[in-house]
Structure 1
Amino acid sequence: MITILLVLSLLGYAAAAAFTGQRFANREPWGQRRIMLSGGFAILAQFAAAILILDSTGYARFNMASTLLIIAVLLAVFNYLRGSRPEAMLLRPVIYTFAMLSSLIALLTPLDAGHPITVNPGVTVHVGLSLLAFSILALAALYSIQLLYVNRLLKQRKAKALSANLPPLMTVENYFFKLLTIGTAVLTLAIASGFLFLENMFASGQLHKTILSIAAWLTFNGILIVHYWRGVRGKPAVIITLIASFILILAYYGSRFVRDVILS
């Protein structure tokens, strides 16, 4: 059943990404319904597959494949809820392609891959907050890239032909900083819950993850402080956001890649 659901999610995301591309090219008024139906179908199939994968292991194994799947679902849901807004439509093919990749990785990964974790309410809260923070901040990073892209087109005066499809620059920037603020707040809770519920955040197996997570948290907070205090925006904020996002990826997936792929 898990295999069937993952294959269905692959097909649904592929169709939704293709329909989105057609809508950008042809602007059919009926194309949005196809995008929403195929995207919604893919999200439901992938979400069901993720639940079944976690249930099959007693929610005691969060390997790289399962966490990628959960993050992909969250990103797809966040984007889907934005409907037909131009800034959401522009990102949709990218997010759906990532979701397809996560489903493919899940198909190729054994269910029992990865090391077991201790399941208790505190650890569940920490893991849930960490995944949510990662997803929101990953979406903020994607919007920061979109911000650079739209700004570049406007400066090069190439946006006129694409004006019907391009989102307003201020809309993208405001949503980017909103996501950055929410994601940083959730990351704060995730790190705090780790210190509260995990036995030792500075143990040898957790040390680099803890240090990198705190470094990313400090960087994200630094962006927000200079933005709200000094009004810094645009390219400097985008570059620092991408650096902080890369640090966060290293903190989480660097260790999981070594542990779940190389060592196993």
Structure 2
Amino acid sequence: MTLLFVCLLLIYSGFSLFVIHFWRRKPSQTYPLKQELTLLVPVLLLNALWLWLPILQSQRLLLGFGHAMAMLSWITLVLYWCGSFFYRLQGLQLFLFPIAVLSLLCDVFLPGATTGVVVDNSAFALHIMSSLLAYSLFALATLLAWLMLWLARDLRQHRLSPSVSFLPPLLSIEKLMFQSLTMGFVSLTVSLLSGMLFSEYVFGHAFTWTHKIIFGIASWVIYAGILFLRWRQGARGKKIAIAVIVGFILLMLAYAGSKFVLEIVLAHSR
């Protein structure tokens, strides 16, 4: 497993350096997307082996901080790979590959809880799958929102920076962001409902109001408001993009933030 970790770390680091170099030096040239997607196939399979082999060996779902971050990063990369065949997602690589590097490092050096849990009922499986999918879709939407702000700033300042020619058109980024938000919102709704209605089966105890539920509902309200304003008024622009980022921060606080504090900060302070 150590060799696999080193290989993945070097490959994702190489991808990161190549994309950054291409963006800075050759933004007007055609990005070798087909070659990238082809190379990503074995890399994503190796990454899946890294993530799922310990789970298959222990017959338990690992939900520690580091492993959860690595899992979310991998799912987001898979969504990016699939979506690249239908949409122009160029620019997301600038974030996705470095995030993959950081998530692998977190998985090894900040694993958090390593005991894992047994997925022994369909309600729990539904909750976990919908949660992971929601986080990954909202991560994509957040990166797209960040690209929107970045590109809008350069266009507003009439700057001919590498981002203007490297990134997709602003309207295309905005359209993809709202599509990701819609799918993520459906997944988050399923996740929240399954956690609240089937708490006995999912968590083994009756439903209680926790910080995770509160932050999760707060992010749900923000995303619901964004989609409602988009539907009723065609809302768009800087404020919407910032709201998307704020919603994701709350969502991260709901799960990743609490796990980091409980499993990393408090565990090391004892």
TM over 0.5: yes
RMSD of aligned residue pairs (Cα, Å): 2.5
Are the equivalent residues in 2 in contact too, given 1:140–1:179 (CA < 8 A)?
yes
Cα distance, 1:21 vs. partner? 2.9
Q: In structure 2, do the counterparts of structure 1 residues 118 and 195 end up closer, same or farther at CA, with 3 Å as the change threshold?
A: farther
2:236 corresponds to which residue?
233
Q: In structure 2, do the counterparts of structure 1 residues 124 and 12 end up closer, same or farther at CA, with 3 Å as the change threshold?
A: same
Question: Counterpart of 2:192 in structure 1: which amino acid?
Answer: I
2:136 corresponds to which residue?
135
2:11 corresponds to which residue?
12
Cα distance, 1:261 vs. partner? 1.2
Are the equivalent residues in 1 in contact too, given 2:199–2:206 (CA < 8 A)?
yes
Cα distance, 1:50 vs. partner? 0.5
Are the equivalent residues in 2 in contact too, given 1:208–1:251 (CA < 8 A)?
yes
Q: Which moved more, 1:130-139 or 1:99-108?
A: 99-108
3-state SS of paired residue (1:90): coil
Residue deviations 1:77-107 (CA, integer Å, cap 9, x gap): 1222344899522120211111111111212
Cα distance, 1:29 vs. partner? 5.8
Cα distance, 1:173 vs. partner? 0.5
Cα distance, 1:33 vs. partner? 5.1
Question: Counterpart of 1:117 in structure 2: which amino acid?
Answer: V
Q: Which moved more, 1:252-261 or 1:168-177?
A: 252-261
Question: Counterpart of 2:56 in structure 1: which amino acid?
Answer: D
3-state SS of paired residue (2:92): helix
Cα distance, 1:240 vs. partner? 1.2
Q: In structure 2, do the counterparts of structure 1 residues 80 and 118 end up closer, same or farther at CA, with 3 Å as the change threshold?
A: closer
Cα distance, 1:45 vs. partner? 1.6
Q: In structure 2, do the counterparts of structure 1 residues 251 and 115 end up closer, same or farther at CA, with 3 Å as the change threshold?
A: farther
1:119 corresponds to which residue?
119
2:213 corresponds to which residue?
210
Cα distance, 1:34 vs. partner? 4.7
Give the % identical residues: 28
Are the equivalent residues in 2 in contact too, given 1:17–1:97 (CA < 8 A)?
yes
Q: In structure 2, do the counterparts of structure 1 residues 161 and 94 end up closer, same or farther at CA, with 3 Å as the change threshold?
A: closer
Cα distance, 1:168 vs. partner? 0.7
Residue deviations 1:53-96 (CA, integer Å, cap 9, x gap): 22233224311111111101011112223448995221202111
Question: Counterpart of 2:90 in structure 1: which amino acid?
Answer: M
Are the equivalent residues in 1 in contact too, given 2:74–2:100 (CA < 8 A)?
yes
Q: How does 1:163-174 map to 2 (within 5 A)?
A: 163-174=164-175
Q: How does 1:142-157 map to 2 (within 5 A)?
A: 142-157=143-158
Q: In structure 2, do the counterparts of structure 1 residues 97 and 196 end up closer, same or farther at CA, with 3 Å as the change threshold?
A: same
Q: In structure 2, do the counterparts of structure 1 residues 161 and 138 end up closer, same or farther at CA, with 3 Å as the change threshold?
A: closer
1:250 corresponds to which residue?
253
Gaps of 5+ in 2: none
Question: Counterpart of 2:262 in structure 1: which amino acid?
Answer: R
Q: Which moved more, 1:62-71 or 1:87-96?
A: 87-96
2:74 corresponds to which residue?
73
Corresponding position: 1:261 with 2:264: yes
Q: Which moved more, 1:69-78 or 1:161-170?
A: 161-170
Q: Which moved more, 1:151-160 or 1:88-97?
A: 151-160
1:182 corresponds to which residue?
183
Are the equivalent residues in 1 in contact too, given 2:138–2:180 (CA < 8 A)?
yes
Are the equivalent residues in 1 in contact too, given 2:12–2:100 (CA < 8 A)?
yes
**2:125 & 2:45 partners in 1: Cα distance?**
22
**1:201 & 1:78 partners in 2: Cα distance?**
34
Residue deviations 1:208-248 (CA, integer Å, cap 9, x gap): 11111111111110111011111211111111111111111
Q: In structure 2, do the counterparts of structure 1 residues 161 and 245 end up closer, same or farther at CA, with 3 Å as the change threshold?
A: closer
3-state SS of paired residue (2:159): coil
Are the equivalent residues in 2 in contact too, given 1:86–1:165 (CA < 8 A)?
no
Cα distance, 1:124 vs. partner? 1.6
State the TM-score, normalizing by the size of structure 2. 0.86
Q: In structure 2, do the counterparts of structure 1 residues 162 and 186 end up closer, same or farther at CA, with 3 Å as the change threshold?
A: closer
